Amino acid sequence: MHNANLLKTIFFALLFNFYCGLAQTLEDEKWTYNKILPFSFEEEAIEVLKYYPELKATYIRFQYKRLPDAIMQVQPTWWSLIFKKKENRKYKIFINILPSIDAPLESFPKNVIKGIFAHEYAHIVYYQQNSNIRLILDFIRYPINCPFKKEFERNADIIAIQHGLGVYLKEAWQYTGFDANLSDVMKAKKRFYYLSPLEIQKLMSQYSKKQ
């Protein structure tokens, strides 16, 4: 009798775990619609995406590419930027193949990766809110106008904080600005262009009071 009860308990525990796993899989599939996610970071990409309900149906493709001075970079596809309405644009998030010989993205802590995703998704939210002409002008100004570049990147941080991702941003800033084995140039850019942990914390407190 004792063995029968034990087997019954094990059976229902396994059944419960199966249904929980199935429910989680179905929930994740809702967020992978129109998405081509990086295999190595799929879990983090989906988890952070859930903070951005406005991106649920947006086409986003992750792609590896050599980037001169960035870990990740997001932009609309040029075809959709020129010929499609803003609500129908498609986006690519480029992942640097090798930010540094000693610091591939796979070596970063998970929360740092989430912070980087949070920032890149925030750029897409901004892109969705603005016209094609506005974005083209932004892309022209970005590489040649230092104050504009700083404002542009910090605005993405603010959007991420508004979506509840400030904790991950702080970890990403600390790691990529000081701890990661990246080049000194990349670390300096991170510290200069993006919100600091203190600024992030202040904004987190402000937004939490408003809610």
User: Over the stretch 104-116, which tens digit does the pLDDT of each residue have?
Assistant: 788 899 999 999 9
Tell me the mean pLDDT in the region 81-105.
83
- Residues 197 and 109 occupy one common structural domain: yes
Residue 185: the pLDDT is 86
Q: Beginning with the edge strand found earlier in the chain, give each strand of the sheet holding 35-36 in spatial order.
A: 35-36, 59-65, 90-96, 72-76
Say if residue 62's pLDDT is above 50. Answer: yes
Same-domain pairing of 50 and 137: yes
Whether residues 97 and 14 share a domain: the answer is no
Question: Are 95 and 160 members of one domain?
Answer: yes
Tell me, what's the pLDDT at 97?
A: 81
What's the total number of domains in the chain? Answer: 2
Sign of CA dihedral 107, 111, 112, 113: positive
The predicted-structure confidence for 18-56, as pLDDT tens digits, reads as follows: 443 433 444 556 778 889 998 889 999 999 999 999 999
Note whether 96 and 149 are within 8 A (CB): no
pLDDT score of 178 more than 80? yes
Do 42 and 23 sit in the same domain of this protein?
no
Q: What is the pLDDT, as a whole number, of residue 106? A: 83
User: What mean pLDDT do residues 179-199 have?
Assistant: 90
Closest by CA to 49, choosing from 104, 127, 120, 155, is: 120
Same domain, 5 and 59: no
Q: Does one domain contain both 53 and 130?
A: yes
pLDDT, tens digit, 9 for 90 and up, residues 115-171: 999 999 999 999 999 999 999 999 999 999 999 999 999 999 999 999 999 999 999
171: buried, middle or exposed (CB in 10 Å: 19+, 13-18, 0-12)? buried
Both 113 and 187 in one domain: the answer is yes
pLDDT of residue 67: 84
In terms of domains, do 140 and 196 share one?
Answer: yes
Residues 88 and 107 in one domain: yes
How sure is the predictor about 179, in pLDDT bands with cuts at 50, 70 and 90? confident
Asked if residue 47 lies in contact with residue 114, where contact means CB atoms within 8 angstroms, the answer is yes
pLDDT bin (cut points 50, 70, 90) of residue 15 is very low
Full residue range of the structural domain in which residue 179 is found: 32-210
